[in-house]
Chain A
Amino acid sequence: MNEDMEEDGSPLFPRWSYWYALVIGFLLALIGFFYFLTNYFA
């Protein structure tokens, strides 16, 4: 149980909000990049 409690935090970052920020930022960057490609090659 103690092992589980120690593990309960977010991996690599101190809090889960960092993961939310990373994933949403990554997705927005991808969508932005794809939007650019859509227009550039249209």
Chain B
Amino acid sequence: MSRPDWIVLILTLLAIIAYGLYKSRTTRDLDGYFLGNRTLPWYIVLMSIMGTQASAVTFLSAPGQAYTDGMRFVQYYFGLPLAMVVLCITFVPVFHRLKIYTAYEFLENRFDIKTRALTSFLFLLQRGLSTGISIAAPSIILSSLLGWDITLTNIFMGGLLIIYTVTGGAKAVAYTQQLQLIVIFAGMFMAGYMVVHRLPAQVGFLDALHIGGQAGKMNIITTGFRGGAATGSKGGFDWNDKYNLLSGVIGGFFLALSYFGTDQSQVGRYLTARSMTESRLGLLMNGLVKVPMQFLILLLGILVFSFYQFNREPVFFNKTQINLLEKSRYKDSLLIVNREYDAAETLKIQERNWLAANEGLKGQTAYREAEDRLRQAETRRVWARTSIKRWLNDKEVGGDNNDTNYIFLRFVMDFLPRGLIGLLIAAIFLASWGSIAAALNSLSSCTIVDFHKRFSKKELTGIQEYKLSRMYTLFWGIFCVGVAQLAYNIGNSLIEAVNLLGSLFYGVILGIFLVAFYRKKIGGTAVFVSAVIVEAFVILLNILNNKGIVHLSFLWFNVVGAAGVVILSELIGTVSGRRTGPETVR
């Protein structure tokens, strides 16, 4: 990175820390530290909700996802808007009326202490590990692309934000997230502008989308149904297909309901609102802006894809992996493949430019011949990339054959002007800080409220609780950076691990809450036993999935977990005959 980039990066990060410290003034008790004294307006709550959900991986991964797999990932968010309305009607009023600090406090009120402790424990386990992995994933990408030391990158990614998170609690987290989102969107918008600006003069924004469309990348709506006998494949709905209309609306609805309704890192954000109406407005507005926002981030990937049709595309976006091959037994083969790839790239760029300049000849022989040559170049390029991916998959090489998450940042590093590179690297850090700060705040609140305060016999004063909360925030910060260090040694596919971890636990947690809200006569023991059994079943399902015995996309684990707990607790409640919980709240 150049000096202007370093200046922009360091100044942006310092400004955020200073702003976080400036906004750190709260009363020295749990209400001030975890709920910002419930004083925040809806738009800060909205930004905080968005900043918590959108991590560094969102901004690194989504454009790459669109680049490789097309726009269909946007369907993943289709269930979210409806989930926001259900949440506002069902969950939010109960949380506000009970004046709770964590979502799991409600479960003791509704069921019993063991159900509360189990649910809070599942949350701590899942959130603690996934936050650590969320630190590691962007750190690995940045350290690989920029040659930074991984330990230092982890500390910068997950450690610096501890300064204002420990000091200022939820209020500092919410206000910094607001500023972070502004920087992130400014950076992404400028990157989008620069991609279009750097396209050849005869290629405009719509032409770029057409190029993406011709390559099958504008597949925004997909049904998930296979072609059937006519295409020679087995027909019917593909349950292993991750992103389609049905899985997006149904699976996405359950995922959003469990994430926003039962994950303390989100519940803790909208409980900071100054009233129930402000909490609800924050959530409802999130429902309206999330899909368009995600659509625009993905669209950036399509623009980058079109850009690379006129510019040399790296044979593999993660250079570190190519370095691995250069040291392996494939080094001679790599030279041959690289030569073939370079020739194909030259041909591709030449034909693309000719086709763009001669749109008027469409349908004529010369135009069709150019299209044929482009297809030949594409076949040679695909062959080269497939060879490299196959070699990386070789156990002897031990490489990572997925470069999706490197695409956007590699483009940034290679083609954006000085200063803007620094701003986009800063945006990656800030996106990471926003979600990690909220996670640390929620981990600390659950530890002290659901466990320390609940099980300790010693009575604590407000100031003692406040000091202890800060200590727990610091502890979780160090814990997550430690997990990030270990995750680096574990290996690749960290982003998938985060998604999978969430789906393994969210469904069961949501099931417990659904029983609490909608099946008022079912007691604590029935729901507790059901949760333990269904959690074990979901984990078993994942093992069977990994072994290839069942074929189910992880998004459906949420549905299985939630439905499993509801049905099983109903059965156990009926069989045992003891259906009444200690207290009903509604």
Contact = CB atoms under 8 A, between A and B. Distances in A.
B347 to A, nearest CB: 25
Contacts of B287: 23
Contact of A31 (B210, B221, B281): B221
Contacts of A38: 218-221
Contacts of B284: 11, 19, 23
A41 B70 CA distance: 12
B96 interface: yes
Of B245, B277, B292, chain A has the most CB atoms within 10 Å of the CB of B277
B74 A7 contact: no
Contacts of A12: 281
Contacts of A41: 209-210, 212-214, 218
B353 interface: no
Interface string A15-42: 0100110011011001100110110111
Given A4-B96, A4-B276, A26 B288 contact: yes
Contacts of B219: 38
Contacts of A7: 96, 275-277
Interface stretch (B82-90, B157-165, B167-175, B407-415): B82-90
Given A35-B221, A41-B210, A16 B74 contact: no
A24 B288 CA distance: 10
Interface in B197-217: 209-210, 212-214, 216
Contacts of A34: 74, 220-221, 295
Interface string B281-304: 100100110011001000000000
Interface residues of B, number: 33
Contacts of B85: 16, 19-20, 23
A12 B291 CA distance: 21
Contacts, number: 67
Contacts of B93: 4, 8
Interface residues of A, number: 23
A35 B74 CA distance: 12
Contact of B292 (A16, A19, A30): A30
Q: Taking each of A3, A4, A23, A42, which has the highest tally of chain B beta carbons within 10 Å of its own beta carbon?
A: A23
Contacts of A11: 277, 280-281, 284
B220 to A, nearest CB: 4
B97 A37 contact: no
A34 B298 CA distance: 13
Contacts of A35: 220-221
B274 to A, nearest CB: 11
B556 interface: no
Nearest to A34: B220
B220 A27 contact: no
A32 B291 CA distance: 13
B36 interface: no
Contacts of A40: 213
A31 B291 CA distance: 10
Interface of A: 3-4, 7-8, 10-12, 16, 19-20, 23-24, 26-27, 30-31, 34-35, 37-38, 40-42
Given A12-B281, A37-B220, A42-B216, 10 more contacts: A3-B275, A10-B88, A23-B81, A23-B287, A23-B288, A30-B291, A30-B292, A31-B78, A34-B221, A41-B213
Closest 7 CB pairs of A and B: A41-B213, A41-B218, A34-B220, A7-B276, A23-B81, A35-B221, A38-B220
